[in-house]
Amino acid sequence: MVGDSRRDSASPVDMSVTVGRVHLRHAVMTASGTSGHADELAAYGDLASLGAVVVKSLSVMPWAGNPAPRVHPVAQGMLNAVGLQGPGMAAWLRDDLPRLASCDAAVVLSIWGRTVEEYREAAAVLGAGARDPIVAVEVNLSCPNMSGHGIFAHDADMSAAVISAVVEQVSLPVWAKLSPNTDRLVAIAGRVRDAGADAVTLVNTVLGMALDPDTGRPALGNGGGGLSGRAIHPVAVRAVHDVRAAHPDLPIVGVGGVADGWSAAELIMAGADAVQVGTATFADPAAPFRVAADLEAWLRAHGHRSPGAIRGLAHR
C-alpha cells in the first residue's frame, strides 16, 4: 500500500481501536504468556500507552506448569511448553491486578481450565461486576502444552460450552483464543461467536518439537511444545484472513509473529481489529512499545489516519 497523499504524512494518526464492545487506546497489545502476570514490562515503556496488557492465562487454582527446559529457540521463532504456570485467580486479583492498575494499564484477563467447570470457576472468581482496569476476558481454548486433554479449540462443542459457561459468569466482553492447529478454525470461530464470544483472538502457537543433537531426545522438558514468532506469522495472517472472510462482523484480535509495524499492519489488512505482540518480547522486552510506535509510523508514512483505514483491505 503506497500512501494516498503526501500531505497526510504529517497528520496525526488516531491509534485507538474498537474490538466489539471494548474501546482500546491503541491497536497494539501484549500477548498472553509473554510478559508475565503483572507489570513486568513497566520498566521498558508506559503500559498505559498500549491497547492493553494481556496477562498470562490463569486458572482457578495455582498451577506449577511443566518441567524445564520450557523454552527453546528455533530459526525465526521459539518453542515453548511453559504449561500455564500461575498463582491462581484469587492470588492474581489480590497481588498482581493492583500493580497493573497503578500503571493505568488496560488489562485483558486470560483464563484457562482443564474442564468446562474449571473455566466456569475461574470466571466466577472474577464475578459479574465491573473489575477496573480489566476490559475483557480472553478465554484460552488453545494451549497445546497441557497433558490430559486435547486442545479445546479443536472441538466446536467443547469450545462453545466453555464460552457459554464463561459468558454466564461475567458481564465483561469475552474473547475466545483459538488454535491454528486445525482446518476447522472458521467453523469453530462461528460456534464461539454463537455461544456469546464478543471477539476471537487468532492464533495460539503451532504444535512443534525440537531434538537435542547430543541425546536425540526432545529439547523441551515436556517433549512437544508450541512454535511462535516470525515463523508463524503467515499462519496467523491466513487464519485472520479466512475467519474475517467467513464472519465479516466478528471482531478479531490478530497475534502471531508480529515484530514490527508492517507485520502488525499485515494482520490488520487481513481483517484484525487489533494485534498482540508475543515472542518478539523475549528478544527485546520493549518490543510491544516499539511495534506500537512502528505501526503508527507505518500508517503515517502510508497516508492513513487510523488502523481502521486499512482493516480488512485484503478483502476489498
Ligand X SMILES: Cc1cc2nc3c(=O)[nH]c(=O)nc-3n(C[C@H](O)[C@H](O)[C@H](O)COP(=O)(O)O)c2cc1C
Q: Binding to ligand X by residue 32, rule CB under 6 A?
A: yes
Query: Among 15, 41, 52, 82, which residue interacts with ligand X (rule: CB under 6 A)?
Result: 82
Q: Binding to ligand X by residue 205, rule CB under 6 A?
A: yes
Show the cell assigned to 265: 499492519
- Show the binding pattern over residues 83-102: x = contacts ligand X (CB under 6 A), - = does not: -x------------------
Dihedral angle over CA of 101, 53, 281, 79, nearest 10: 120
Q: Binding to ligand X by residue 195, rule CB under 6 A?
A: no
Asked if residue 41 lies in contact with residue 33, where contact means CB atoms within 8 angstroms, the answer is no
Q: b or e along 4-34 (b: 16 or more beta carbons within 10 Å of the residue's beta carbon)?
A: eeeebeeeebebebebbebebbbbbbbbbbb
Of 159 and 228, the one with the shorter C-beta distance to ligand X is 228
**Binding piece for ligand X, criterion CB under 6 A, among 13-21, 150-158, 162-170, 228-236:** 228-236
Rounded Cα–Cα distance for residues 307 and 42 (Å): 25
3-state SS, residue 24:
strand
To the nearest whole angstrom, how small is the minimum distance from the Cβ of residue 31 to ligand X? Answer: 4
Give the H or E element holding residue 255. Answer: strand 252-255
Query: Among 28, 50, 57, 191, which residue interacts with ligand X (rule: CB under 6 A)?
Result: 57
Rounded Cα–Cα distance for residues 41 and 49 (Å): 12
Q: Which residue is nearest to ligand X (CB)?
A: 33
Q: Binding to ligand X by residue 257, rule CB under 6 A?
A: yes
Rounded Cα–Cα distance for residues 135 and 137 (Å): 7
- Show the binding pattern over residues 104-133: x = contacts ligand X (CB under 6 A), - = does not: ------x-----------------------
- Show the binding pattern over residues 158-187: x = contacts ligand X (CB under 6 A), - = does not: -------------------x----------
Q: What is the DSSP string of 201-226?
A: EE--PEEE--B-TTT-SBSBTTBSEE
Asked if residue 161 lies in contact with residue 188, where contact means CB atoms within 8 angstroms, the answer is no
**Binding piece for ligand X, criterion CB under 6 A, among 41-49, 60-68, 256-264, 266-274:** 256-264
Least Cα distance to 72 among 221, 261, 257 occurs for: 221
To the nearest whole angstrom, how small is the minimum distance from the Cβ of residue 36 to ligand X? Answer: 10
Q: At 128, give phi and psi (nearest 5°).
A: -85, -20
Q: Binding to ligand X by residue 80, rule CB under 6 A?
A: yes
Q: Binding to ligand X by residue 59, rule CB under 6 A?
A: no
Which residues, including other chains, have CB under 8 Å from residue 26's CB and lie 6 or more apart? 15, 16, 17, 49, 50, 51, 292
Q: Binding to ligand X by residue 47, rule CB under 6 A?
A: no
Of 139 and 300, the one with the shorter C-beta distance to ligand X is 139
To the nearest whole angstrom, how small is the minimum distance from the Cβ of residue 206 to ligand X? Answer: 9
Rounded Cα–Cα distance for residues 56 and 13 (Å): 30
Q: Binding to ligand X by residue 261, rule CB under 6 A?
A: no
To the nearest whole angstrom, how small is the minimum distance from the Cβ of residue 256 to ligand X? Answer: 4
Q: Binding to ligand X by residue 51, rule CB under 6 A?
A: no
The catalytic site residues sit at 143
Q: Residues in the site for ligand X, rule: CB under 6 A?
A: 31-34, 56-57, 71, 78, 80, 82, 84, 110, 140, 177, 204-205, 228-229, 232, 255-258, 277-279
